[in-house]
Amino acid sequence: MGDAYHIPVLLHDAVDMLVTTRGGVYVDGTLGGGGHAEAICEKIFPEGLVLGIDADEDAQREAKKKLARFAPRVKFVHDNTVFLRSILHSHDIDGIQGLLLDLGVSSFQLDEHGKGFTFRADAPLDMRMDRRQTRDARAIVNEYDEHSLADIFFTYGEEKMSRRIARAIASQRSEAPIETTSQLVAIVERCVGGKFVTKSLARIFQALRIEVNDELGRLETMLRDGVEMLVPGGRIVVIAYHSLEDRIVKNYFAEQAATMTPSGVKFLPDTPRVPVLRLVTKKPLIASEDEQMTNPRSRSAKMRVAEKV
């Protein structure tokens, strides 16, 4: 499969900004095919240690092949990075030098039709990164009430037709369960006219994927616990692919880098505080024109970097 698995986005910028010393432990919390992890290993080998975490066992398998030459300086963990603290604890690690989060799904997951992440191919409604998880897209589409579905489409997909699409789903499933991506595509196509349909499909599938994998809730925990586990001078690098994710990262970094805590009362002065983070990137880094041309996935990427004070 090689590089066809996934082309890493902002590879050199991400790794150059993440790695500040050859020693210590670096965590790739979204290992994927191991593209970023390989570049981290190349920079620190044979001194440091890389911990590669991914919720998807296929990604783990692929990364293991790619990183075999760096064994035993790489450890693979098949788990969700939301459990970072306990994962580190079980490896007797009490502080990390760097954490990389290259969010979302890989090209391989999107293209692997059996997983149901894409509206471009027929597959069971699944969308789980981790197949051990019980909740899948089928359960959400068939079991959530109409209002909750509409809220998910609106909040996580920013889809304007959310109510109409949720109503159509509720009506269709009252006859028979909705089992496949093509059935869902047909419903969305009936609700949204002509040239707008592709964008709506992308938004509905994104919203379902976020809900299935609780991507935004988990992101908040990963940021909080990741920053807590960084040693002073350690760095966190996050690459986000849509505005909802990027907003969470931006706000969290800004809050942790703030030198004042708002009093919350208009006429009272704010209180000084010692910041936890220093912003390494004031504005998010985006991919160069060349990268955007050769790797369309990089077009929506925004990378933010912060350093533990």
Ligand X SMILES: C[S@@+](CC[C@H](N)C(=O)[O-])C[C@H]1O[C@@H](n2cnc3c(N)ncnc32)[C@H](O)[C@@H]1O
Task: List residues near ligand X by CB under 6 A.
Answer: 6, 8, 30, 32-36, 53-56, 59, 80-82, 102, 104-106, 129, 218
* 32 vs 187 by CB, closer to ligand X: 32
How far lies 196's CA from each of 58, 165, 221, 243, in Å? 34, 14, 35, 20
* 104 vs 116 by CB, closer to ligand X: 104
Q: Is the dihedral of CA 40, 45, 51, 54 positive or negative?
A: positive
Minimum Å distance from CB 57 to ligand X? 9
236 sits in which H/E element: strand 230-240
Minimum Å distance from CB 29 to ligand X? 6
Minimum Å distance from CB 114 to ligand X? 15
Which residue has the CB atom at the shortest distance from ligand X? 32
Position 4, amino acid: A
* 185 vs 297 by CB, closer to ligand X: 297
* 24 vs 32 by CB, closer to ligand X: 32
Minimum Å distance from CB 41 to ligand X? 12
- Ordered strands of the 96-102 beta sheet: 74-78, 49-54, 25-28, 96-102, 230-240, 302-308, 277-279
How far lies 216's CA from each of 143, 189, 241, 248, 297, in Å? 21, 27, 12, 8, 20
CA distance 16 to 279: 15
* 74 vs 169 by CB, closer to ligand X: 74
Minimum Å distance from CB 254 to ligand X? 22
